[in-house]
Structure 1
């Protein structure tokens, strides 16, 4: 049995017209000999009657401190409504389909409500429905604990659900349908010359996602990567082939191997605060432990960490800046912060093996008088912290310097 997972986002199932496009994609998979499993998100986005944010607001309008368990009870309703409406739409088109909750489909999680972790996927029910000739239409974003509690698995959860089902069933392909044609070299709202990537490696797309790109959730990619299950990001509303996510040995149809490409894209994260802590150089090790323990204790996530003799630098969300500064000053530390910064990153699988990449990166920013506040790099990315007012200029300059529009 050639199993394919087809995940459809909120805009894909929001209207009668868009749902007909979903039917067409499912029928095309059937015509190619696949046994499709459809995974759906809640219908529409914030403000739509059955969107997850709308349901959350409905509960919180009554009591702002709704318990996580009860939040999961109402949040799972968006996908449930979507799966039933989509199942009915497929049935009306002559496609035998059956709606399943995440729990009915075998998604077993712990009881960390609102951010549950997947423990296992029991594939028996899904295999049984496929063998009976049904197209299962499964609620994404949700599962069930061993005790029968309904759970949700956090933002981006429908992507993660689709990938988890694909990995558990050894699917031939996981398709993620959205309202864009694929993964772009940069945000097209910022860089008009941005182009769609034909293919990208698992590692590169994970870096892009972690560092600001919003096309796919990194957890989803990390689930299919160990089994080398290809994933495709494509549009529900066009026949464009989309972007293939695979291992670095894959070659694009233009003959360029992924491993030969220095950079794949530029991305960004806005609304970041820069934190600098000064101390005696001899105390850096002890101070580092104290600083990061304090941040962890108060639930403040840190990123872009640099530790030098006499100085520790890192970033936090702008909303956490004052709290972070206050907690550190209570410890007697000398703290300086800067708000409204942005992290801009260039990602590429070949960056670590090519001399001069950092020089080109810095040169692009210097040529445009963009001040670098901090940098950090890895084998597949270089990130820089800049003033938020210079973010767009930095993204544009780096996209041009690395010839990503060519």
Structure 2
């Protein structure tokens, strides 16, 4: 059997017409000789009757915080409803189908309720049902512990389910279906000329996803990358080929000069950040301060990003929603910080920039022409990050797009 994993998000499943489109994708895969395994998210978004956040709102009416175990039992219901309805739709179209919960599909996780990690997949039940000629529909976002407790996989959990099944079944592809035609070169709400990418590397899409592109969860990409399973991001609502995510050898196959082929793959942005600048003493006292600073933030459960540390200064960002908590931690530890709210991170991502001189110079040139002040910068071999004021974010994205993407 040549398995194909097809994951459909909640917006692809909310109405009968949308589910008929999903059915057409499944039938097309069978006609191409694949054995499809369909992974579903909960139907709709917050406010829709069966969306996960809507179910949580109902439970919160009880007036107290829900325990993690009970929350997972509730949050798993959305995908079960979605899966049963999608299975019925396939059967009504003459396509034999069976629904499996995460547990019945063999998704075994650790015991971290609300954000569990898949530790192994036992796909025997899926293979058995597939051999009987059925399309297996699997509830995404959920699994079960070794002791039989229901767990959920956290943000992007259905993508993670699809990726894990793809690896366990040695699938030909893992297809992530969304409401766009693929991974875009920039946010089309900011850059009108943004277009879908034909191919990207695993590393590039991980960086794009971490830096604000929300089409696929980076954890899913990291899973398929381990076994080299190609992943495609496609649209439920069109026949466009979508974006293929694969190894750099495939993306740059035949390229004589990677730098000239594609230096930058995409531009992303993350708004609503707050920058902290914490002065440090010189010498051994400063080393002790560094340790106390970051240990205090870690113990408070505060995730820091965009970190620059020098002998006399520590600079980092946190999400705007938690910056007051971070400020309180610093005050409790007797640090005096300069706090700059209203910031945004803009990232230029591309495996082709590795070893290429002048990329940072081009970024500075583009932003200077627009009068944008760079508050902070950092880089890796595939990404250059720039921190700017929130009001300069969209202007910065467009400037970098013009600098790197319009000429390629």
Shorter-chain TM-score: which interval? over 0.9
Q: Please name the residue that 1:370 is paired with.
A: 372
Post-superposition CA distance 1:343-364 (Å, at most 9, x none)? 0000000112211011111111
Q: Please name the residue that 2:308 is paired with.
A: 306
**3-state SS of the aligned residue for 1:56?**
helix
Residues 251-290 of structure 1 correspond to what in structure 2 (within 5 A)?
251=251, 260-282=261-283, 283-290=285-292
Contact 1:249–1:258 under 8 Å retained in 2: no
Distance in 2, matches of 1:300 and 1:294, equals: 9
Instruction: Give TM-score, length-normalised by structure 1.
Output: 0.97
1:49 CA displacement: 0.3
Distance in 2, matches of 1:252 and 1:12, equals: 32
User: Is 1:327 paired with 2:326?
Assistant: no
Post-superposition CA distance 1:325-384 (Å, at most 9, x none)? 222122222211111100000000011221101111111111111111111100000001
Distance in 1, matches of 2:11 and 2:203, equals: 27
Instruction: Give TM-score, length-normalised by structure 2.
Output: 0.97
Contact 2:201–2:251 under 8 Å retained in 1: no
Query: Which sections of structure 2, spanning at least 5 residues, go unmatched?
Result: none
Q: Please name the residue that 2:118 is paired with.
A: 118
User: Is 1:13 paired with 2:8?
Assistant: no
Contact 1:281–1:311 under 8 Å retained in 2: no
Distance in 2, matches of 1:84 and 1:291, equals: 50
Corresponding pairs, count: 406
Distance in 2, matches of 1:310 and 1:182, equals: 45
Moved more, 362-371 or 99-108: 362-371
1:63 CA displacement: 2.8
Post-superposition CA distance 1:162-212 (Å, at most 9, x none)? 000001111111100111110001000011111110110000000000111
Residues 6-405 of structure 1 correspond to what in structure 2 (within 5 A)?
6-251=6-251, 260-282=261-283, 283-404=285-406
Distance in 2, matches of 1:256 and 1:71, equals: 53
Contact 1:26–1:36 under 8 Å retained in 2: yes
Distance in 2, matches of 1:226 and 1:280, equals: 43
Change (3 A) 1:30 1:360: same
**3-state SS of the aligned residue for 1:177?**
strand
Distance in 2, matches of 1:377 and 1:122, equals: 40
